[in-house]
């Protein structure tokens, strides 16, 4: 089971790298657009639209990445006082009943038809000179929420391992020769 958790979180980590590089690209693009506008009086529509396109992977891929690294908002006043099993139970219930699995799966499923419709129409920007292929942007909706559901599954599995006393300590998970329970 630990192998499955590591595989799922490996996917989330790679998607997080895409989100981080998208953020870097957004910063560079916004700075470039400001310089072009104020120093050269140039304001290209495609570059402005590309800013919006970069926000999609940042937000939608960043959700699961933030959840993986526990950068999400939670009420730590109570959570920190719980035992490891109490925390695992809260994590399990939270992942099963809230956004991680239930809503993530539902929105990913609904987002597929939304993206497919955009692809079939070959939807592009309504602005003159805008970017084509808007379906690529919309594809981040099912991808991002599917990633959120995957992280929810990983959190559930980790919580189950903790609740059943089969979660190895941190030192045994770092060794590649250690046999882990499945």
Residue ranges per structural domain of the chain: 2-169
Give the 3-state secondary structure of residue 63: helix
Arithmetic mean of pLDDT, 100-106: 80
What is each CA distance from 167 to 45, 93, 100, 136, in whole angstroms? 52, 18, 21, 39
- Model's pTM, two decimal places? 0.81
Arithmetic mean of pLDDT, 71-92: 82
Provide the token pair at 182. 């499945």
Q: Cα angle at 94 between 162 and 73, to 5 degrees?
A: 105
- The string of pLDDT tens digits covering residues 107-142 is 999 999 999 999 999 999 888 888 898 999 999 999
- The string of pLDDT tens digits covering residues 41-73 is 998 889 989 998 999 999 999 999 998 998 877
Mean pLDDT score of the chain? 86
Whether the predicted pLDDT of 165 surpasses 50: yes
Quote the pLDDT of residue 178.
38
**What phi, psi does 142 have (nearest 5°)?**
-65, -35
Whether the predicted pLDDT of 99 surpasses 70: no
């Amino acid at each position: 089971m630990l192998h499955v958790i590591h595989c799922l979180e490996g996917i989330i980590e790679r998607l997080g790298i895409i989100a981080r590089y998208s953020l870097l690209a957004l910063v560079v693009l916004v700075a470039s657009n400001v310089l072009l506008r104020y120093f050269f009086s140039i304001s290209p529509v495609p570059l402005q639209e590309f800013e919006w396109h970069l926000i999609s992977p940042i937000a939608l891929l960043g959700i699961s990445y933030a959840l993986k690294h526990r950068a999400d908002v939670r009420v730590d006043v109570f959570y920190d006082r719980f035992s490891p099993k109490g925390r695992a139970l809260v994590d399990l219930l939270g992942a099963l009943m809230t956004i991680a699995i239930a809503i993530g799966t539902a929105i990913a499923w609904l987002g597929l038809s939304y993206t497919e419709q955009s692809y079939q129409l070959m939807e592009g920007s309504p602005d003159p000179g805008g970017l084509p292929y808007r379906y690529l942007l919309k594809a981040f909706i099912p991808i991002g929420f599917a990633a959120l559901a995957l992280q929810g599954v990983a959190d559930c599995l980790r919580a189950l391992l903790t609740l059943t006393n089969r979660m190895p300590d941190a030192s045994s998970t770092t060794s590649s020769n250690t046999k882990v329970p499945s």
